[in-house]
Structure 1
Amino acid sequence: MSKPAERIVCLTATGIDILAELGLEPVGYLAQGIADRPEFFGDRAQQFTSVGSWMLPNLKAIRTLQPDLILGWRFPHRLYQHWLRQIASTYLMSGSGYDIALARLRDVARLTGRDTVAETAIQQLETQIETYRTAIPANLQKTVLMMGGSTLNLLSRRFIIETDVGTMGSLLQQLTHYPWIEPAGKRMEPGLMTVSLDRIVQSNPDVIFVQTYPPSTAPLSQQLTNNPRWKRLKAVQTGQVHEVDQFWHSGNGTHIMQIMLSQLMPLIYPEYL
């Protein structure tokens, strides 16, 4: 690009995370998404023009906005990249985890002339992590699990686990005992895998964070209450099971990382934080 992008259309939650970190706002965003959350743009998001859904972006609406940069996700937006790149420069993201999030932030910062802002945001995150690392004795790290699922997972008896390369897993493995290692050659999205309840019992976490997915209406941890294996877990017996909403996975960016660290770490280490 010959000059920094100013008119940005965003087709992904991670893009919203990045723009919030860089102090920028999109001219167009999805009809439904996270932009109106108070952690991001709140009521200001009502001013963003709708450009369709994540799976079906409205190419005509995007073209009308005359953007000079489009932020998308490799799947599904690689299916549209021929048409998107005829409209404007297009940056397609993929992957999760700490290092990838920093690289993405720097990439978009270069495209928008916000390199200094990006480095400031990265320094804030690194300072936050170091503050926690200093406060927590290394020999007293707790075993933590981030899991999710629905009634379908209850039926299959396999639950979705965030691995050490996931958005939060990549941070928690620096500050806790996080034994959920990304397996080689798996087919699921990077950062996630499925495991049995028996495997969870083997690791016996001190603290468990649970996310309930549709079509479940009752919290997943509540649905597991009478499961004999679940009741054997240390975290269950000590009341250290915490339900978290789907905001947990709303973007693989540094902004959400800082927010979630500030929420989760005091629950893991109340005696130190």
Structure 2
Amino acid sequence: MDHSALAQPANADEPLRDDRGTPIEAMQAERVAAISTFAADTLVALGVSPVGASTFGSEPLPSYLGAPLSHTRSLGQRASTNLELLTELKPELIIGIHRYTEPHARQLEAIAPFYAFDVVSLADSHRAVTGIATALGKRAEGEALNQAFDARLAKLDEAPGGVSAILLAGAGEAPFAYHDHFLSATLLEHLNATNAAGPSPTPEQTIPFGYTISLERLLALNPDVIFLFATGSERAFANNPVWPYLEAVKNGRVYEVGPHWKEGGGPIARRLILDEMAWRLYPEDVARPELPPSIASHPYS
């Protein structure tokens, strides 16, 4: 198993920067806004309830984070954050995803100190968790969260293996499949499973993190397990005549997973994904994790 994506010990005196190149300075911020589910997740894991949070999909706030968001205001979609409401909330710090916030970065900086991270890979997740924790004056806590996750990965290194899987998103005629470096797909490798979608043809670039795949190509790959990311629309590709011939479909091993799988870089989401993925890949060897019914995976039919 290649552990290059795992957290590496960091020099506590080493200066950190976000993915915009902005040096991260520790501060005592009680009012923090999160532009992304990932940022809200990381804040909650560090014991901070965000005053406002942007998300994606149909949920106004990520439900899997539960009670810590009971007083959090929804700022709308991560790519179109309600800046007027954000200003009214008077945050002392703003954390976001780089690619969604870059168009209005200056507006955000005018509201409060702002740090942004692009969280696609597991290494990105480790780096961003440490960065956010550092901004909150909690660097040691952030590194401890990363180390705890790595310890869990290490325990699963002896998973049985011999299974292939693919992660699919979208609802059109052809779904979107995720490359190896996308965080949820990376976890397959750590569970000794093969990601049927394979590696990126441009490994030096984080984006694109996947590709549109035809049903004919999917049949050629024929993974044992298919994980479908949640969508609010009927999946047209599941009505394709090829679909019933897939081994995963024939064997009842197609699972619709919760929305946290799509933006799983936070400490809470990545642990939930890992434990549920392990159980679905190896149901005879791994215990079923306890998850709220609203986010638990279920067989797709």
Same fold (TM > 0.5) = yes
Q: 3-state SS of the aligned residue for 1:96? A: coil
Alignment of 1:3-18 (within 5 A): 3-18=27-42
Give the corresponding residue for 1:86. Answer: 110
1:223 aligns with 2:247: no
Which one is further off, 49-58 or 237-246?
49-58
Q: 3-state SS of the aligned residue for 1:71? A: strand
- Which of residues 147, 155, 163 in structure 1 aligns to 2:179? 163
- Provide the C-alpha distance between the structure 1 equivalents of 2:220 and 2:147, rounded to a whole number of angstroms: 37
The alpha-carbon deviation at position 99 of structure 1 amounts to 0.5
Give the corresponding residue for 2:124. Answer: 100
Cα separation, partners in 2 of 1:269 and 1:82, compared to 1, 3 Å: same
TM-score relative to the length of structure 2? 0.76
Give the corresponding residue for 1:181. Answer: 199
The alpha-carbon deviation at position 187 of structure 1 amounts to 11
- Provide the C-alpha distance between the structure 1 equivalents of 2:175 and 2:205, rounded to a whole number of angstroms: 15
The residue identity in structure 2 corresponding to 1:163 is H
Give the corresponding residue for 1:258. Answer: 271
CA root-mean-square deviation: 2.7
The alpha-carbon deviation at position 204 of structure 1 amounts to 1.7
1:25 aligns with 2:43: no
Q: 3-state SS of the aligned residue for 2:243? A: helix
Query: In proportion to residue count, which structure has more helix?
Result: 1
Q: 3-state SS of the aligned residue for 1:26? A: coil
Deviations 1:117-142 (A, max 9, x none): 212211221122111112x24xx431
Give the corresponding residue for 2:168. Answer: 147
- Tell me if the contact between 1:149 and 1:220 (Cα under 8 Å) persists in the aligned partners: no
Deviations 1:34-90 (A, max 9, x none): 6451x31x2442312344543333334333333221112223321111121122111
- Which of residues 48, 61, 65 in structure 1 aligns to 2:89? 65
The alpha-carbon deviation at position 112 of structure 1 amounts to 0.4
Q: 3-state SS of the aligned residue for 1:30? A: strand
Deviations 1:136-167 (A, max 9, x none): 24xx43111111231xx22xxx2211111112
Give unmatched runs, 5+ long, in structure 1.
none
The residue identity in structure 1 corresponding to 2:233 is P
Give the corresponding residue for 1:194. Answer: 212
The residue identity in structure 2 corresponding to 1:223 is N
1:130 aligns with 2:154: yes
Q: 3-state SS of the aligned residue for 2:175? A: strand
Alignment of 1:43-54 (within 5 A): 43-54=67-78
TM-score relative to the length of structure 1? 0.83
Give the corresponding residue for 2:246. Answer: 233
- Tell me if the contact between 1:93 and 1:104 (Cα under 8 Å) persists in the aligned partners: yes
Cα separation, partners in 2 of 1:2 and 1:130, compared to 1, 3 Å: closer
- Provide the C-alpha distance between the structure 2 equivalents of 1:57 and 1:221, rounded to a whole number of angstroms: 31
Cα separation, partners in 2 of 1:116 and 1:238, compared to 1, 3 Å: same
Identity %: 24
- Tell me if the contact between 1:148 and 1:210 (Cα under 8 Å) persists in the aligned partners: yes
The alpha-carbon deviation at position 214 of structure 1 amounts to 3.8
Deviations 1:79-126 (A, max 9, x none): 111121122111122240111000000000110011222122112211
The residue identity in structure 2 corresponding to 1:99 is A
Q: 3-state SS of the aligned residue for 1:47? A: coil
Number of residue pairs the alignment of both structures matches: 258
Give the corresponding residue for 2:292. Answer: none
- Tell me if the contact between 1:69 and 1:89 (Cα under 8 Å) persists in the aligned partners: yes
The ranges of structure 1 where at least 4 consecutive aligned residues each deviate by more than 6 angstroms after the TM superposition are 185-188
Cα separation, partners in 2 of 1:34 and 1:110, compared to 1, 3 Å: farther
Cα separation, partners in 2 of 1:239 and 1:163, compared to 1, 3 Å: same
